[in-house]
Amino acid sequence: MNTKYSPGLHYLATLHTSDAEALKDMEAFKVWLSAEIQALGLTQAGEVWHQFPQAGFTAAVALTESHISIHTWPEFQLATFDVFLSNFSRRNNDTVLHLAQGIASFFNARLSNIHQIER
């Protein structure tokens, strides 16, 4: 067994924003995330998106490298998300951090309750 292999970084956080409308705009986030995935050289394997009536959305995007998921609550001006990318074919820890910061920037939000777990 190779004990030196690190499966990857798992980043979990809550974000807070005063932009409740952004937390409702699933289509804009979907376009942004798809462009980020492509720009970062990641491979999308599947996705599930659900818009709640007059409210936020939830999504899970499967990647060959692992996944990204998000759930928004515009009525509380917050969202939770996680990003996990495998280090199998390349070291992706910096990519995980880039995506987390990008998600916060997309929603013009500050991050809290951050957990970074080295798998």
CATH architecture of residue range(s) 8-112: 4-Layer Sandwich (3.60)
Residue with tokens 């937390």: 23
Q: Which residue has the higher pLDDT, 89 or 51?
A: 51
Confidence (pLDDT) at 41? 97
Confidence (pLDDT) at 6? 87
- In this prediction the pTM is 0.94
Question: Could you read off the pLDDT of 57-89 as tens digits, one per residue?
Answer: 999 999 999 999 999 999 999 999 999 999 999
Overall average pLDDT of the 94-113 stretch: 98
Question: Could you read off the pLDDT of 16-45 as tens digits, one per residue?
Answer: 999 999 999 999 999 999 999 999 999 999
